[in-house]
Chains A and B, each alone.
Chain A
């Protein structure tokens, strides 16, 4: 079994039990016959930065347990394995979400934002905020419904504009209630 496969077993154990395995348990996981070989495996993984130890010598998880490694931008030709070491990986979640506590999701039903690349069925991640800037795509509350439009501020005039010629701009009668601002778009195929 390659080190990677052995490491993945430790990760799965961590997810299943919400704690790190003991040496004894690793021995059973990777089907080793002695704790000495486990010790060697652990040292190898520590060297690679995939495991850590605390002051008392107990094993601790590292960021490799939680994240999809960011491999850098794809360059045609031969990949450079050293790049993985240089970059600080961020998870897909961190990439898409800035303020975790204020982020909500929304599934799009209409086609009013189709020219902005937002299609029916898409998942939009939005951040609750009271203020939005000109040009940002916002979720506003209009007549007891959510509406997803681009915010346009010209002087004192504020309108909500669709990204589809079929729909006229919405001019709010009184105060415009903005609930959130779009920060990312997710589409699964």
Chain B
């Protein structure tokens, strides 16, 4: 049973780099008053977005509601999310890794893959040493810790970075892979969800090693292509390439927003949806995209989701058209005896907006006119702020603040304005917070 899956060492050297408790770490690293305390971000949404290791140790988990956290951990510090700072630090993380290799895939805000194959000579050190140096630089320059995994493929690298957290560095060369897989439940593998895990259990496959030991023919017969690739990656063969190009287009655009207190007022909830639609359409127009369909989602106070989807007759990024199309399905899924806490919209099947095929009944002149109107609206919003002009249907969502009650929901950084800064335009440097003596 202790037979290695492969005898190679590191034919490719792929790193997976994962920030430890990223949002909470960003907060702790800039304010020493928060060090060693259970810090939780996501105050403005009422649920945990990220928690520090101190909070994790007390049993706080992601998406837990704040009043539950208070019971577990009365001394927890709740902070509103400061996405401006988090994205600045995220960009820095990628920039630092790019000092070592140009092949970096920005996988999410706090994770990336890096290919360091063949870099030993130019970086003067073994793969392990290079990984150590990347980790050291990230830890020092960003002020919090990262966990790294080094392996012959992306899947193995990802297992490595999870192996020892926080602040770990795990190198899994080809001939060691089987030792790491033996204990790993199959659902912990990247890309295997509850459904697939249950299906595999029917075939008596419970651990990642049992999965990796199945013959390739078996995998191809019973599973689909993504799992065949996963299986190959587990053998230490790199088949998933790094997506190193920056994102210049989107498959879909989503906008979700929570409001408090929850409401059962049809007009108010629709205004919230309408505001999300306007924001989603604005983003689509910025990338010169138009959507062929949209999904409308409503979430009740007790976290029950309902949603419906519509297809448009022609791709569009005009807010008023999307609102008109979603109005009837909103009325279908809205029940006035429920209280709603958030609304959302997903624009999907996006395509470039310069090749739109009109249907027989579309008046081209009118569409031309709307294009001009929206161009003007976007110009105004760019110059004077996102909420300068909006549709009447969104009025109720703009008339009140998003969250009533709890004060201090604006991130601390946004309350400090340096001379020459405005609420919309701030220096792109992260700031140390707390008192400076």
Q: Which residues of A does B touch, CB under 8 Å?
A: 16, 99-110, 112, 123, 125-126, 128-130, 139, 141-142, 144-148, 179-180, 188
A105 touches B429 (CB 8 A): yes
B427 touches A105 (CB 8 A): yes
B437 touches A147 (CB 8 A): yes
Q: How large is the interface on B (under 10, 10 to 19, 20 to 34, 35 or more residues)?
A: 20 to 34
A108 touches B432 (CB 8 A): no
Cβ contacts B354-367/A at 8 Å (1 or 0 each): 00000000000000
- Given A101-B95, A102-B140, A105-B427, are A146 and B437 also a contact pair (CB < 8 Å)? yes
Q: A99-B141, A145-B435, A146-B32 are in contact. List 11 more A-B contacts (CB 8 A).
A: A104-B431, A106-B431, A107-B436, A110-B437, A128-B142, A139-B436, A141-B32, A145-B32, A145-B437, A179-B143, A179-B432
Chain A, residue nearest B286 (CB): A18
B432 touches A126 (CB 8 A): yes
- B92 CB contacts on chain A under 8 angstroms: 100-101
| Cβ of B416 under 8 Å from chain A | yes
Partner of B418, one of A100, A109, A123: A123
CA–CA, A126 to B420, complex, Å? 20
A125 touches B435 (CB 8 A): no
B436 touches A109 (CB 8 A): yes
A144 touches B140 (CB 8 A): no
- Could you write out 16 A-B pairs with CB less than 8 Å apart? A99-B141, A100-B92, A104-B431, A104-B432, A107-B418, A107-B431, A109-B435, A109-B437, A112-B437, A128-B141, A139-B436, A142-B437, A144-B35, A146-B435, A146-B437, A179-B432
- B432 CB contacts on chain A under 8 angstroms: 104-106, 126, 139, 146, 179-180
A106 touches B32 (CB 8 A): no
A interface, by DSSP: helix, strand, loop or mixed? strand
Partner of A106, one of B35, B141, B420, B436: B436
In the A-B complex, list the 8 residue pairs whose CB atoms are closest, starting with the nearest.
Answer: A102-B141, A106-B432, A188-B419, A101-B92, A141-B32, A105-B429, A146-B436, A147-B437
- A146 CB contacts on chain B under 8 angstroms: 32, 432, 434-437
| Cβ of B410 under 8 Å from chain A | no
- A104 CB contacts on chain B under 8 angstroms: 30, 429-432
A144 touches B33 (CB 8 A): yes
CA–CA, A99 to B92, complex, Å? 11
B436 touches A129 (CB 8 A): no
CA–CA, A103 to B420, complex, Å? 20
CA–CA, A100 to B89, complex, Å? 11
Which positions 111-153 of chain B face chain A at CB distance < 8 Å?
Answer: 140-143
Chain B, residue nearest A105 (CB): B429
CA–CA, A102 to B419, complex, Å? 23
- B142 CB contacts on chain A under 8 angstroms: 101, 128
Chain B, residue nearest A187 (CB): B419
CA–CA, A88 to B169, complex, Å? 42
CA–CA, A103 to B95, complex, Å? 13
Cβ contacts B394-437/A at 8 Å (1 or 0 each): 00000000000000000000001011100000010111101111
CA–CA, A88 to B388, complex, Å? 41
A129 touches B140 (CB 8 A): yes
A145 touches B141 (CB 8 A): no
- A129 CB contacts on chain B under 8 angstroms: 140
Chain B's nearest CB lies how many Å from the CB of A63?
Answer: 19
Chain B, residue nearest A177 (CB): B32
Which positions 285-307 of chain B face chain A at CB distance < 8 Å?
Answer: none
Cβ contacts B247-275/A at 8 Å (1 or 0 each): 00000000000000000000000000000
CA–CA, A45 to B432, complex, Å? 43
Max chain A Cβ within 10 angstroms of own Cβ: one of B92, B95, B429: B429
| Cβ of B96 under 8 Å from chain A | yes
Which positions 18-51 of chain B face chain A at CB distance < 8 Å?
Answer: 30, 32-33, 35
- Given A128-B140, A129-B140, are A105 and B437 also a contact pair (CB < 8 Å)? no
CA–CA, A179 to B142, complex, Å? 10
CA–CA, A156 to B33, complex, Å? 28
CA–CA, A148 to B92, complex, Å? 24
A103 touches B437 (CB 8 A): no
Chain B, residue nearest A127 (CB): B141
